[in-house]
A and B are shown apart, each in its own frame.
Chain A
Amino acid sequence: SAVISQKPSRDICQRGTSLTIQCQVDSQVTMMFWYRQQPGQSLTLIATANQGSEATYESGFVIDKFPISRPNLTFSTLTVSNMSPEDSSIYLCSAMMPGWNTEAFFGQGTRLTVV
């Protein structure tokens, strides 16, 4: 298994500002992903964080709004830029271990409130 640590665990931010969320995995992993869970909703994939190259974004998410870095196999960051109240969500980092029985692990999430 993998242990994933996210920082910060929660934050309250002013609209128009940016927040960078950090994700640290305790072992090298091939794949890392970022998700969002809006209030009362399921988890929605934002992007795949590719090591050493630009992230791959899902429909409805763009790099200017959610820039992602992944400098190595254990660390990634997600920035929520120019925030508005609609960005208030839980943001989750995930790492996947490929195999016969695929496992994918999540951090504890970052609860973001934009005021």
Chain B
Amino acid sequence: DQQVKQNSPSLSVQEGRISILNCDYTNSMFDYFLWYKKYPAEGPTFLISISSIKDKNEDGRFTVFLNKSAKHLSLHIVPSQPGDSAVYFCAAGSWYSGGGADGLTFGKGTHLIIQP
């Protein structure tokens, strides 16, 4: 059972426009969500995260929105730049008592292509 889903394998956006990447999850016990950007032959690069008690977090061109009732989150990139072309992964995690955390559960990724 896939707990974190990214239903769009790819997305093409014109340079300067907004890129919106979507992610759905099934486990309502997740405590936080993260977005990563990954280039081939490199490890994932952390972009932004959001706690489950928030509905929005913003960092520069990146904004993550969380809709808990719909179990849906999205990453907005404004404006989109050519260097944003990469695979984007959505991930989710949970805390456990004692201050520890489970490892992350990842979606399958969305390949974002920024067209000039």
Contact = CB atoms under 8 A, between A and B. Distances in A.
Interface of A: 1, 4, 6, 30-31, 33, 35, 41-45, 47-48, 58, 92, 94, 96, 98, 100-109, 111
A42 B108 contact: yes
Q: Which of B49, B101, B103 has the most CB of A within 10 A?
A: B103
A69 B43 CA distance: 21
Interface string B89-109: 101010100011111111111
3 closest pairs, A vs B, by CB? Answer: A45-B103, A106-B43, A33-B103
A35 B105 CA distance: 10
A43 B100 CA distance: 20
Given A35-B103, A45-B104, A101 B43 contact: no
22 contacts: A1-B46, A4-B43, A31-B101, A33-B103, A42-B89, A42-B109, A43-B44, A43-B89, A45-B104, A48-B102, A58-B103, A92-B44, A101-B50, A102-B34, A102-B93, A104-B46, A104-B104, A105-B46, A106-B44, A106-B46, A108-B42, A109-B42
Nearest to A34: B103
Contacts of A101: 32, 48-51, 57
A104 B101 CA distance: 11
A38 B78 CA distance: 31
Nearest to B108: A42
Given A6-B43, A42-B108, A43-B44, 16 more contacts: A35-B103, A41-B108, A42-B109, A43-B89, A43-B104, A44-B106, A48-B102, A92-B44, A96-B101, A98-B99, A98-B101, A101-B57, A104-B91, A106-B44, A109-B41, A109-B43
